[in-house]
Structure 1
Protein backbone atom coordinates (compact mmCIF):
# COMPACT_ATOMS: atom_id res chain seq x y z
CA UNK A 1 0.00 0.00 0.00
CA UNK A 2 1.33 3.42 -0.87
CA UNK A 3 -0.08 6.91 -1.27
CA UNK A 4 1.72 9.05 -3.83
CA UNK A 5 1.31 12.81 -3.86
CA UNK A 6 2.08 13.39 -7.53
CA UNK A 7 2.37 17.19 -7.22
CA UNK A 8 5.22 16.70 -4.72
CA UNK A 9 7.21 14.34 -6.95
CA UNK A 10 10.38 15.61 -8.58
CA UNK A 11 13.34 13.88 -10.15
CA UNK A 12 17.02 14.71 -10.48
CA UNK A 13 16.77 14.67 -14.28
CA UNK A 14 14.19 15.18 -17.01
CA UNK A 15 11.90 12.15 -17.42
CA UNK A 16 13.07 10.73 -14.10
CA UNK A 17 10.44 8.29 -12.87
CA UNK A 18 8.95 6.66 -9.81
CA UNK A 19 7.91 3.09 -10.54
CA UNK A 20 4.45 2.63 -9.12
CA UNK A 21 3.42 -0.83 -10.31
CA UNK A 22 4.30 -3.65 -12.67
CA UNK A 23 1.32 -5.87 -13.40
CA UNK A 24 1.41 -8.65 -15.95
CA UNK A 25 4.10 -6.99 -18.07
CA UNK A 26 2.52 -3.53 -17.89
CA UNK A 27 4.25 -0.76 -15.93
CA UNK A 28 2.79 2.35 -14.36
CA UNK A 29 5.26 5.15 -13.72
CA UNK A 30 5.07 8.73 -12.53
CA UNK A 31 7.43 10.98 -14.50
CA UNK A 32 8.68 14.49 -13.78
CA UNK A 33 10.18 16.54 -16.58
CA UNK A 34 10.90 20.02 -17.80
CA UNK A 35 12.50 18.96 -21.08
CA UNK A 36 11.19 17.28 -24.26
CA UNK A 37 11.59 13.53 -24.69
CA UNK A 38 12.57 12.17 -28.12
CA UNK A 39 10.57 10.98 -31.10
CA UNK A 40 9.80 7.31 -30.43
CA UNK A 41 7.49 4.38 -30.98
CA UNK A 42 6.63 2.29 -27.95
CA UNK A 43 6.77 -1.49 -27.75
CA UNK A 44 2.98 -1.72 -27.69
CA UNK A 45 0.33 0.74 -26.55
CA UNK A 46 0.87 3.67 -24.18
CA UNK A 47 -1.45 5.72 -21.99
CA UNK A 48 -0.05 9.17 -21.06
CA UNK A 49 -1.96 11.19 -18.43
CA UNK A 50 -1.04 14.79 -17.55
CA UNK A 51 -1.28 15.19 -13.77
CA UNK A 52 0.40 18.59 -13.44
CA UNK A 53 1.53 21.17 -15.98
CA UNK A 54 0.97 21.46 -19.71
CA UNK A 55 2.45 19.21 -22.41
CA UNK A 56 2.54 19.75 -26.15
CA UNK A 57 2.22 16.30 -27.70
CA UNK A 58 3.37 15.83 -31.26
CA UNK A 59 2.54 12.65 -33.16
CA UNK A 60 2.48 11.38 -36.73
CA UNK A 61 -0.46 10.05 -38.70
CA UNK A 62 0.30 8.85 -42.20
CA UNK A 63 3.68 10.61 -42.04
CA UNK A 64 1.97 13.92 -41.22
CA UNK A 65 3.03 15.64 -37.97
CA UNK A 66 0.16 16.74 -35.73
CA UNK A 67 0.39 18.71 -32.49
CA UNK A 68 -2.00 19.13 -29.59
CA UNK A 69 -1.85 20.69 -26.14
CA UNK A 70 -2.54 18.42 -23.17
CA UNK A 71 -3.57 19.99 -19.88
CA UNK A 72 -4.18 18.55 -16.41
CA UNK A 73 -6.52 15.60 -16.68
CA UNK A 74 -5.98 15.07 -20.41
CA UNK A 75 -5.05 11.60 -21.64
CA UNK A 76 -3.06 10.74 -24.76
CA UNK A 77 -3.43 7.16 -26.03
CA UNK A 78 -0.69 5.99 -28.39
CA UNK A 79 -1.83 2.91 -30.29
CA UNK A 80 0.70 0.38 -31.54
CA UNK A 81 3.09 2.07 -33.98
CA UNK A 82 2.20 5.68 -33.10
CA UNK A 83 5.35 7.80 -33.38
CA UNK A 84 5.21 10.64 -30.85
CA UNK A 85 7.14 13.08 -28.66
CA UNK A 86 6.16 15.09 -25.58
CA UNK A 87 7.24 18.72 -25.08
CA UNK A 88 6.40 19.97 -21.58
CA UNK A 89 5.70 23.69 -21.30
CA UNK A 90 7.67 24.19 -18.08
CA UNK A 91 7.67 21.48 -15.43
CA UNK A 92 5.15 18.67 -15.80
CA UNK A 93 4.19 15.44 -14.07
CA UNK A 94 2.73 12.63 -16.12
CA UNK A 95 1.51 9.14 -15.42
CA UNK A 96 2.60 6.65 -18.08
CA UNK A 97 1.18 3.15 -18.48
CA UNK A 98 3.00 0.99 -21.03
CA UNK A 99 4.56 -2.40 -21.73
CA UNK A 100 7.45 -3.21 -19.42
CA UNK A 101 10.79 -2.22 -20.98
CA UNK A 102 9.18 0.08 -23.54
CA UNK A 103 11.08 3.17 -24.70
Structure 2
Protein backbone atom coordinates (compact mmCIF):
# COMPACT_ATOMS: atom_id res chain seq x y z
CA UNK A 1 0.00 0.00 0.00
CA UNK A 2 1.23 3.48 -0.80
CA UNK A 3 -0.11 7.02 -0.39
CA UNK A 4 1.45 9.93 -2.29
CA UNK A 5 0.46 13.59 -2.00
CA UNK A 6 0.65 14.43 -5.70
CA UNK A 7 0.82 18.20 -5.41
CA UNK A 8 3.66 17.94 -2.86
CA UNK A 9 5.85 15.47 -4.76
CA UNK A 10 9.24 16.89 -5.76
CA UNK A 11 12.38 15.46 -7.31
CA UNK A 12 15.95 16.72 -7.19
CA UNK A 13 16.00 16.93 -11.01
CA UNK A 14 13.56 17.68 -13.83
CA UNK A 15 11.51 14.64 -14.83
CA UNK A 16 12.61 12.79 -11.73
CA UNK A 17 9.99 10.24 -10.76
CA UNK A 18 8.75 7.78 -8.21
CA UNK A 19 7.37 4.43 -9.27
CA UNK A 20 3.86 4.01 -7.89
CA UNK A 21 3.09 0.60 -9.39
CA UNK A 22 4.25 -1.91 -11.96
CA UNK A 23 1.44 -4.15 -13.21
CA UNK A 24 1.71 -6.67 -16.04
CA UNK A 25 4.38 -4.71 -17.92
CA UNK A 26 2.76 -1.31 -17.37
CA UNK A 27 4.34 1.27 -15.06
CA UNK A 28 2.62 4.11 -13.26
CA UNK A 29 4.92 6.93 -12.13
CA UNK A 30 4.60 10.39 -10.69
CA UNK A 31 7.01 12.95 -12.18
CA UNK A 32 8.06 16.43 -11.08
CA UNK A 33 9.54 18.90 -13.56
CA UNK A 34 10.11 22.54 -14.30
CA UNK A 35 11.83 21.95 -17.66
CA UNK A 36 10.67 20.57 -21.02
CA UNK A 37 11.20 16.91 -21.86
CA UNK A 38 12.40 15.94 -25.36
CA UNK A 39 10.52 15.06 -28.53
CA UNK A 40 9.87 11.33 -28.42
CA UNK A 41 7.67 8.43 -29.45
CA UNK A 42 6.90 5.89 -26.73
CA UNK A 43 7.39 2.15 -27.16
CA UNK A 44 3.64 1.74 -26.68
CA UNK A 45 0.67 3.84 -25.65
CA UNK A 46 0.90 6.46 -22.90
CA UNK A 47 -1.57 8.15 -20.58
CA UNK A 48 -0.30 11.53 -19.31
CA UNK A 49 -2.26 13.25 -16.50
CA UNK A 50 -1.46 16.71 -15.14
CA UNK A 51 -1.89 16.42 -11.37
CA UNK A 52 -0.68 19.89 -10.42
CA UNK A 53 0.40 22.86 -12.52
CA UNK A 54 0.12 23.50 -16.24
CA UNK A 55 1.79 21.88 -19.23
CA UNK A 56 1.92 22.80 -22.89
CA UNK A 57 1.74 19.48 -24.71
CA UNK A 58 3.20 19.70 -28.20
CA UNK A 59 2.51 16.86 -30.61
CA UNK A 60 2.67 16.06 -34.30
CA UNK A 61 -0.26 15.06 -36.44
CA UNK A 62 0.40 14.34 -40.12
CA UNK A 63 3.78 16.15 -39.81
CA UNK A 64 2.11 19.30 -38.45
CA UNK A 65 3.20 20.51 -35.00
CA UNK A 66 0.24 21.31 -32.74
CA UNK A 67 -0.07 22.18 -29.06
CA UNK A 68 -2.61 22.23 -26.26
CA UNK A 69 -2.37 23.80 -22.82
CA UNK A 70 -3.19 21.26 -20.13
CA UNK A 71 -4.29 22.19 -16.61
CA UNK A 72 -4.60 20.11 -13.43
CA UNK A 73 -6.88 17.17 -14.10
CA UNK A 74 -6.38 17.19 -17.89
CA UNK A 75 -5.42 13.93 -19.62
CA UNK A 76 -3.46 13.30 -22.83
CA UNK A 77 -3.48 9.88 -24.52
CA UNK A 78 -0.59 9.21 -26.88
CA UNK A 79 -1.41 6.33 -29.21
CA UNK A 80 1.38 4.23 -30.70
CA UNK A 81 3.52 6.43 -32.95
CA UNK A 82 2.42 9.80 -31.54
CA UNK A 83 5.46 12.10 -31.44
CA UNK A 84 5.14 14.53 -28.53
CA UNK A 85 6.93 16.67 -25.96
CA UNK A 86 5.73 18.20 -22.69
CA UNK A 87 6.68 21.77 -21.75
CA UNK A 88 5.70 22.62 -18.16
CA UNK A 89 4.64 26.17 -17.42
CA UNK A 90 6.47 26.61 -14.12
CA UNK A 91 6.50 23.51 -11.89
CA UNK A 92 4.29 20.56 -12.76
CA UNK A 93 3.49 17.17 -11.30
CA UNK A 94 2.44 14.53 -13.77
CA UNK A 95 1.13 10.98 -13.61
CA UNK A 96 2.41 8.80 -16.48
CA UNK A 97 1.10 5.33 -17.29
CA UNK A 98 3.09 3.51 -19.98
CA UNK A 99 4.89 0.34 -20.98
CA UNK A 100 7.73 -0.41 -18.53
CA UNK A 101 11.04 0.95 -19.78
CA UNK A 102 9.47 3.26 -22.35
CA UNK A 103 11.24 6.53 -23.21
Normalising by structure 1, we get a TM-score of 0.99
For 1:61-93, what per-residue CA distance to the aligned partner results, in whole angstroms no more than 9, with x for missing partners? 010000000000000000000000000000000
Which structure has more strand as a fraction of its residues? 2
Runs of 4+ in structure 1 deviating by more than 3 angstroms, as ranges, are none
**Uncovered stretches (5+) of structure 2, i.e. residues with no partner:** none
Q: Are positions 1:96 and 2:100 aligned together?
A: no
Q: Distance in 2 between matches of 1:2 and 1:36?
A: 28
Normalising by structure 2, we get a TM-score of 0.99
Q: Distance in 1 between matches of 2:69 and 2:16?
A: 22
Q: Offset at 1:20?
A: 0.3
RMSD between superposed Cα atoms in Å: 0.3
Q: Distance in 2 between matches of 1:72 and 1:47?
A: 14
Q: Residue 101 of structure 2: SS of its match in structure 1?
A: coil
Q: Offset at 1:39?
A: 0.1
Q: How many residues align?
A: 103
For 1:35-83, what per-residue CA distance to the aligned partner results, in whole angstroms no more than 9, with x for missing partners? 0000000000000000000000000001000000000000000000000
Q: Which residue in the other structure is 1:76 paired with? A: 76
